[in-house]
Amino acid sequence: MPLSFLTRCIFLILFVSLTTYSFSQDTCTLTISGKVTDEHSGEVLEYASVLLKGTSIGTMVDSNGNYELTNLCPGEYIIQCSHIGCISIYDTITLTKSITLNFYPEHHTKELKATIIKSNTIIRPNIYTYQPDPLFERKDIPLQNKLKSTPSVSLAQTGARISKPMVWGLYGNRLGIVQDGVIINDQQWGQDHAPAIDNNARSASLLYHPLKYSSETSAGIIDIISNRPYSGKKSLGGIVNRYYSSNGKNIGSSFELNATLDSLKGFRFNLYGDYSRGGDLKAPHYYLTNTGAANFTLSTIIGYKPTIKSKWDFELGIKNIRRENGVLQAAHIGNITDLKNALNSDTPLIVKDFSYEINNPRQVLSHDVLRLSVTYFNSPENPKYGAFTKIDYAYQDNTRKEFDIRRAGREGIPALDLNLQTHYLQVNTTHPMYGSTTNQLKTKDIQYGFNLTDETNINNPNTGIRPLIPNYESIKGGIYFIQKFTSLKNELEYALRYETKYLRAIKYNYLNELNEYTYNFNLPAASINYTRLLSSNTSVYTRAFYGNRSPGVNELFSEGLHQSVASIEEGDTGLKKETSVKLNLGVEHQAGLNYLFKAELYAHTLNNYIQIEAEDELRQTIQGAFPVFKYKQTDALLLGASASFEYTGKKIDLNILYRYLQGQDLSNHTYLSFMPNNVIRANMRYNNIRSINADTKRWSFKRIYAGLSTETVFKQKNYPKEGIITPPPATYTLVDVNVSYPYEFGNKTKLSLEVTADNIFNTEYRDYMDRLRYFAALPGRNILFNLRYNF
Amino acid sequence: MKKILTLALVSSFLFTACGNDDDITPEPVNEQELITTVLVTFSPTAGGNDVIFMYKDMDGTGPNPPEITSGKLAANTMYNASVLLLNETKEENLTNPEYNITLEVAEEGAEHQLFYTLSNNPNLSFAYTDKDSNNKPIGLKAQAACGDASTGSLTITLRHKPNKSAAGVQNGDITNAGGETDVEVTFDVVIE
């Protein structure tokens, strides 16, 4: 049913857009021409495309970076310049005479798998990438919530403020997060532990082949880029945001500054900071008591490259993240009797008036990163045949404190106090254009290197509570080799990796006896990606992945009570490694310049898949009876499909996506628990262009953007019937609306006001993937006012 | 490639060299809030031998089953019941607050209440005899009145931060109490 609904939508939109946006052409003799060069290096960007949005007029630049659009009618256009690996540039022009327009896209150093065959035909990267909307980026929600524009991505939530990204139903240590070339090492022991990632992202891509970083992350890698390459040109720019959102009465600000100064030649700076403070959120009919939060991020990146042709490039990054989150007070319960009481009540058992106070239970975390990277390029004179060697070192310090409701004035003492320190080293060499060009199938690039991670996790013994996670140290080392071949219509890439991991943990058992455990895991991995161009606008791809994951520390050693779900969780020190074989098949079809269709099939088998399973036992303790959940291994099969459709018109952009996913527990002949629901998301944006009055020097009102998005999350029907506390919640649909009014003054400076309404109909809903769904609904309507200043 | 290998070797040596020196042996955690034992003492008001109910679980949430014993109560007899909450992993001394958790509960009496819930109709009733700072019951002490010979069960529940003003709570009805359960133990009751 959903697919046929989707098909109908597509036809409807095709029909509407074709009838609305055809326009006649009369005295059409004007031209727009210019040159496209890299903002930083000044190099010509071959294969960039320039097109007029909403028309079929567009071209690729020639080998000198020049383009020309001819036979244009007078009128208003949005002109878009795109290059793979760059953020698209949009400009609005009122065409009355032929003009010259040059573009300077900002180019990533790390070029994502884009292969150019010949002009006008491109094997698209087939990678889902999130880039902040050039018109408006929300800073009031975490980065992972924005990645939902990728069909395979969903969220595992603990209330509205704590969320973890999932890819095709897998998360935690199956999904890696890399920021500026460094794996984020933080404490993700449970579903209620959100990753320490910040909102300073120029792009976030989902890499399907994680082998440069890990054998273990079978769900892939979220690759976040926040640093910028050296421009060689003087530049100073930034963005300041101030916002207020009504639900939770959040107040926040963020700033970003990018500078390359004449007085400090060769240096580049990226400063980013944000701060926000919010109080209790509100579901449609009641406050979610104790869901306040405070966030603080400060990130400084300083780069140094003496000249644009230098062989060396240095970068230093320092980042501090501080977070405090209240956990819904009604979710803090004693035993299964309390849980039953909570389930029998439609509203949370504790509801108080709005407050900014963050009381226990609450989480306080800090994440500090010190990153150094050195890049050596051996052939700046002849860049096509050189090799880059990059050395990244990072030190990360992650502290997690959890405060609980306790007796005898101990509320100020954390119930859990863990400190994780990580050293990370990676050395990577890339030969971008390796080998000869005479063969039909030529080697495009090779990459090889190694990475080492050393982790030490220590508990503060003064908590007065036996720790959930023991003290441990682990050392992990991996080597990898990646090679890519291309021919006229084919691209083939394979990657090999071997990783070894040593783990030593020491803990006290239930009877306070000290036990030591050591493990060694051998973790080989391999992947192969093949893309074939069927025609100039249709490509198909196949990706196969094989990898191994060692059991996580929580899976091996967890032991104790999980308060908010009133259950005892126990690890198993005998767990074996988990082996993945994954296959993705995809097709991408571009129709004209306006329509893009993508579809993907996904199959993933996990032998010895580690999951938490309900035991038959109801354990008697002095606190009452508790169900027991144990980490166990099973054979699992994940099957998924997604389809997305994008239309880019002159005034309207539209995209619709659908995702289906099913997880099967093959050993127990049932479904896997906690698999994301099927979903349809649709997003429409309208741009109304007004011409600029060149005579008035006042701020001129230029455009309105208005957006409408809907999300329908279907009821999860495939779940294990055993051990489920309460059936999954019903299907729900949310509608969000946003409007933006930008004012421009001068060439670059822009002030804009954005008003967004989330859940505009104040729908009451609970989500299967929200761990607090037993206790309360998710938030109702929220109105966000954001004032943004670009300079 | 050779350079890379050398670097790999050198750095892996450095890593293991720094890594292995870490002392990760944990200090034992002083579990101050653990309750291992609930002792209910029934003293006949007219004098005579105490009857003791005991629930003891030394491994907390661990897999070993608790040890539960209950004595026989005499029919048509009035008892003073008092509850002791102990952490028997600590030094045995009733004035040691780490051992005798009852002291903490009594001190924070306004934030705690014990409930005596009966099932399967034993001929038994409880009336609170202690008060917190707000003149509301805590329930560490109660008067137990036994009627004719009968059997059934008794559940003793300790709630942290209950709503003592809710309907019935001051009379020992747990239904509207809310709060978080710190202790919930069930004993067989035999009245002869």
Could you read off the pLDDT of A486-522 as tens digits, one per residue? 776 788 889 999 999 999 999 988 777 889 999 999 9
Higher pLDDT, A41 or B16: A41
Query: Taking CB atoms and an 8 Å cutoff, what residues of chain B touch A514?
Result: 25-26
Q: What integer pLDDT is reported at residue A92 of this predicted model?
A: 63
Q: Which of A229-233, A280-284, B7-11, B154-158 is predicted with the least confidence, judged by mean pLDDT?
A: B7-11
Q: Write down the residue that tokens 């690759």 correspond to.
A: A223
Encoding tokens for residue A305? 């490259």
Find out whether A644 and A752 touch, Cβ atoms under 8 Å.
no
- Determine whether the interchain pair A466/B7 forms a contact, defined as Cβ–Cβ distance below 8 Å: no
Encoding tokens for residue A749? 């400076």
- Determine whether the interchain pair B62/A511 forms a contact, defined as Cβ–Cβ distance below 8 Å: yes
Q: pLDDT at residue A650 above 80? A: no
Among A597, A632, A626, which residue's Cα sits nearest to residue A611?
Answer: A632
Measure in Å the smallest separation between the Cα of A625 and chain B Cα atoms: 8
Q: If DSSP codes are grouped into helix, strand and coil, which group holds residue A6?
A: helix
Among A758, A762, A757, which residue's Cα sits nearest to residue A777?
Answer: A762
Rounded Cα distance between A475 and A422, Å, is 10
Task: Give pLDDT tens digits for B95-133.
Answer: 998 899 999 899 989 999 999 999 898 999 999 999 999
- A-B CB pairs within 8 A amount to 161
Q: Residue B150's pLDDT band (boundaries 50, 70, 90)?
A: very high
Q: If DSSP codes are grouped into helix, strand and coil, which group holds residue A46?
A: coil
Q: What integer pLDDT is reported at residue A65 of this predicted model?
A: 74
Query: Taking CB atoms and an 8 Å cutoff, what residues of chain A touch B25?
Result: 471, 506, 514
Q: Residue A260's pLDDT band (boundaries 50, 70, 90)?
A: confident
Q: Which of B22, B27, B185 sits opposite A461 (nearest CB)?
A: B27
Chain A residue at shortest CA distance from B13: A452
Q: Which of A123-132, A644-653, A764-773, B175-184 is predicted with the least confidence, judged by mean pLDDT?
A: A123-132
Q: Which of B12, B65, B178 sits opposite A452 (nearest CB)?
A: B12
Average pLDDT, integer, range B30-41: 87
Rounded Cα distance between A227 and A396, Å, is 18
Rounded Cα distance between A65 and A765, Å, is 52
Mean pLDDT of chain A: 82
CB contact residues (below 8 A), chain B span 22-41, against chain A: 22, 24-33, 35-38
Calculated CA dihedral for residues A118, A123, A128, A133, nearest 10 degrees: 20
Q: Does B11 touch chain A (CB under 8 A)?
A: yes
Q: What are the φ and ψ backbone dihedral angles of B143, each rounded to 5 degrees?
A: -105, 130
Query: Any residues with CB less than 8 A from the CB of A99 and at least 6 apart, and which?
Result: A31, A32, A33, A93
Q: What integer pLDDT is reported at residue A296 of this predicted model?
A: 95
Q: Is A544 exposed, middle or buried (0-12, 13-18, 19+ CB in 10 A)?
A: middle
Find out whether A603 and A637 touch, Cβ atoms under 8 Å.
yes
Q: Residue B7's pLDDT band (boundaries 50, 70, 90)?
A: low
Measure in Å the smallest separation between the Cα of A622 and chain B Cα atoms: 5
Higher pLDDT, A497 or A11: A497
Query: Taking CB atoms and an 8 Å cutoff, what residues of chain B touch A505?
Result: 24
pTM, full prediction: 0.82
Q: Residue A387's pLDDT band (boundaries 50, 70, 90)?
A: confident
- Determine whether the interchain pair B26/A470 forms a contact, defined as Cβ–Cβ distance below 8 Å: yes
Q: Which of A6-15, A169-178, A604-613 is predicted with the least confidence, judged by mean pLDDT?
A: A6-15
- Determine whether the interchain pair A423/B15 forms a contact, defined as Cβ–Cβ distance below 8 Å: yes
Higher pLDDT, A50 or A288: A288
Among A388, A487, A387, which residue's Cα sits nearest to residue A437?
Answer: A487
- Determine whether the interchain pair B33/A410 forms a contact, defined as Cβ–Cβ distance below 8 Å: yes
Rounded Cα distance between B113 and A400, Å, is 32
Among B141, B137, B142, which residue's Cα sits nearest to residue B111?
Answer: B137
Higher pLDDT, A537 or A90: A537
Interstrand relation of A652-665 and A670-671 (parallel, antiparallel or unpaired) = antiparallel
Chain A residue at shortest CA distance from B182: A623
Q: Does B57 touch chain A (CB under 8 A)?
A: yes
Q: pLDDT at residue B166 above 60? A: yes
Residue length, chain B?
A: 192
Q: Which helix (H) or strand (E) holds B8?
A: helix B2-19
Query: Any residues with CB less than 8 A from the CB of A469 and at least 6 apart, and which?
Result: A187, A189, A418, A457, A459, A553, A554, A557, A558
Q: pLDDT at residue A316 above 70? A: yes
Q: Residue A1's pLDDT band (boundaries 50, 70, 90)?
A: very low
Q: What integer pLDDT is reported at residue A513 of this predicted model?
A: 85
CB contact residues (below 8 A), chain B span 121-150, against chain A: none
Q: Which of A423, A470, A623 sits opposite B183 (nearest CB)?
A: A623
Q: pLDDT at residue A27 above 80? A: no
Q: What percent of chain A has pLDDT over 70?
A: 83
Task: Give pLDDT tens digits for A661-709.
Answer: 999 999 999 999 889 999 999 999 887 654 444 454 443 445 677 899 9
Rounded Cα distance between A367 and A197, Å, is 9
DSSP secondary-structure letter at A210? G
Find out whether B104 and B129 touch, Cβ atoms under 8 Å.
no
- Determine whether the interchain pair A338/B180 forms a contact, defined as Cβ–Cβ distance below 8 Å: yes
Adjacent-strand bridge partners of B69: B54
Q: Does B119 touch chain A (CB under 8 A)?
A: no
Q: pLDDT at residue B74 above 80? A: yes
Q: pLDDT at residue A254 above 90? A: yes
Among A696, A217, A767, A131, which residue's Cα sits nearest to residue A497?
Answer: A217
Task: Give pLDDT tens digits for A62-121.
Answer: 767 778 887 777 776 767 777 654 556 666 667 777 777 777 665 433 332 233 332 233
Q: Which of B29, B97, B161 sits opposite A463 (nearest CB)?
A: B29
Encoding tokens for residue A548? 């191994």
Chain B residue at shortest CA distance from A406: B33
Please give the single-letter amino acid code of residue A563.
Q
Q: Residue A526's pLDDT band (boundaries 50, 70, 90)?
A: very high
